[in-house]
Amino acid sequence: MSASVIPYEYAHVLLIPLESLSAVEETLVREKATESITKISSILSPAQVEEYYLPLLRRLSKGEWFTSRTSAASLYAPVYEVVSDVHKEEMRKGFTQLGSDDTPMVRRATAKWLGPFTKKLSKEYVLSTALPVYRRLATDDQDSVRLLTVQDLIIIAQQLTHEEVKEHLLQQLRGSAADKSWRVRYMVANHFVELAEAVGEEIVREDLVGAFVQLLKDNEAEVRTAGAGQIPGFAKLVDRDLILARILPCVRDLSTDQSQHVRAALANQISGLAPLLGKDATIEHLLPLFLHLLKDEFPEVRLNIISKLEQVNTVIGIDLLSQSLLPAIVELAEDKQWRVRQAIIEYIPLLATQLGKSFFDEQLGNLCMSWLGDNVFSIRESATVNLRKLTEVFGVEWAKTTIVPRIVAMGSNTNYLYRMTTVLAITTIAPTLSLDVLRDSILPVLFQLMVDPIPNIRFNVAKSLEVVAQTLATLPEGSTISQERVIPAVENLKNDTDADVRYFAGRALQAASAGELYPGRSFRVTDGL
């Protein structure tokens, strides 16, 4: 019998072994068992749920070992909406009892699954059932229980009006934000924007701004790190004057925080304040902080700032940004950490778009070419990709006069590294070049390197010729050049003493002879390097 016609009326049979697995000691086994029970519950009829599922839930909820009661907490929400009102009342009582269990592990599981269960309840029972369970768990003596109630607080608040939140949840909200356990405060800080969105504008203005400031000044670096990650999102919920008066002073303090992780989190988010503050305030308040963070000794801080500069550019304009930040960017481009240099390279095409051709050539052109000689291969590879993207930005004519001559000149360098980089660069940028550039500049240097004494260079030349041949096939009269110049050259490589060179020469010959692109084919320019 095919799977599509297996009758669902027998699905409940699977609940029997899964019930046993839900009570075993191994946590992962229990979790997988309850996941399976939940999936099965979705195909059970209401009658099956009441006849088979609910008895299983009762047994697990009253099991002698805490493992079964822990599993039971996750099984209330999936079927609550399909049972009768009588059974719903029984389920609400059963879940409430789990919230008062003597074992912390059971209370922890109840806190974890209170949110999903609350979503199934009507407003009446959110107030009469979920809220008391939450209050009990939010004041539990175990911080591992309390920290899980932060998500419950968000979900309960989402089910209530802002007036009801103020009446029923404000005390717990204040208590969680100032909890004696840093782990609970961390959870509050990590979900602060969600909390703020759930409780409404009045509570945000009257209570949460102060609570957020305290979290940003917390004694524990982990809490400050989490808070820093919430700064732009929370700032969107308050007016500009509050940002300047209350949040910005904290941002200044965080920019000099003793923890590098706090500074990194801030660097990743601080640019999000620029659109909220506007041009003048960004220039006055944020720009000095950007410059300071760009000089941070921790690489991740600098990387995070660089990756988000586009947001700042849209606010203050490229002229001011380039005057203020370009010296710092140039300095970072020569950073001893290669990942910092790589991040700068990846940002260059965007910066080039914003700066314009003449400014870019004057300020950053030499820098882009210098990366081709970097000691780290990943930098050289990124530099060639960067040149391809710059060609797409500024056009083939710019590439023809600015970068192609420099790449060609590197092909005559006595250093093996530079000659190899020439081949890599050609392979990468060839698809963006025009017919005349390929014919007059690229092919001559590849033919020159075909006889290089280093086999590694020769077989990469063969691979490069394959890409060039496929590019020519897409251009008018390109197939003629392939027939007259590429194929004869590749035929010579097929007689090379090195097996790898002969293999890649064969591929290049096939591409040139076909006169068209291979459908669905992709080429890795780094193969064999």
* String of DSSP letters for 496-529: -SSHHHHHHHHHHHHHHHHTSPPTT----TTTT-
Check residue 184 and give its pLDDT.
95
**What per-residue confidence (pLDDT) applies to 528?**
36
Place of tokens 């660069």: 425
pLDDT given for residue 7 in this prediction: 55
pLDDT for the residue 278 = 87
Residue pair 173/212 in contact by the 8 Å Cβ criterion:
no
d(CA 74, CA 120): 13
- What pLDDT is recorded for position 519? 35
Burial string for 108-145 (b: 16+ CB within 10 Å, else e) reads bbbbbbbbbbbbbbeeebbbebbbebbbbbbebeebeb
Find out whether 125 and 92 touch, Cβ atoms under 8 Å. yes
Residues 6+ apart with CB under 8 A from 9: 45, 48
The alpha carbon of residue 460 and the mean position of all alpha carbons in its chain are separated, in whole angstroms, by 34
How far apart CA 133 and CA 95 sit, in angstroms, is 9
User: Position 225: which residue type?
Assistant: T
123: left (phi over 0), alpha (psi -120 to 50) or beta: alpha
Which pair of tokens denotes residue 502? Answer: 């002969």
pLDDT value of residue 45? 87
DSSP alpha helix (H) spans, 46-103: 46-48, 54-61, 66-72, 85-99
| Residue 457 to residue 427: CA distance in whole angstroms | 12
CA distance linking residue 464 with residue 452, whole number of Å: 14
Question: What's the token pair of residue 478?
Answer: 């390109």
Is 39 in a helix, a strand, or coil? helix
d(CA 404, CA 339): 26
- pTM for the whole thing? 0.73
Query: Which tokens sit at 155?
Result: 């979900």
Q: pLDDT of the chain along its 529 residues, tens only?
A: 344 444 577 788 888 899 899 898 999 999 999 999 999 888 888 888 888 889 999 999 998 899 999 999 999 999 998 889 999 999 999 999 999 999 999 999 999 999 999 999 999 999 999 999 999 999 999 999 999 999 999 999 999 998 999 889 889 889 999 999 999 999 999 999 999 999 888 899 888 999 999 999 999 999 999 999 999 999 999 999 999 999 999 999 999 999 999 999 999 999 899 899 888 888 888 888 988 888 888 878 887 887 777 777 777 776 666 666 677 777 777 778 888 888 888 878 877 877 777 778 777 888 888 888 888 888 888 989 999 999 988 888 998 888 899 898 988 888 888 899 999 999 999 999 888 888 889 999 999 998 889 888 888 898 888 888 888 888 888 778 888 888 888 888 888 888 888 888 888 888 777 754 333 333 333 333 3
CA–CA separation, 417 vs 282, rounded Å?
44
CB distance 382 to 400 below 8 Å: no
Q: Are 227 and 192 in contact (CB under 8 A)?
A: yes
| 287-294 helix and 248-255 helix, angle to the nearest 10 degrees | 20
Q: How far apart are alpha carbons 467 and 430 in whole angstroms?
A: 7
Instruction: Check residue 241 and give left, alpha or beta (phi > 0: left; psi -120 to 50: alpha).
Output: alpha
All structural domains of the chain: 1-136 (1.25.10.10)
Q: What is d(CA 68, CA 22) in angstroms, rounded to the nearest whole number?
A: 6
Q: Which of 252, 363, 345 is nearest to 306 (CA)?
A: 345
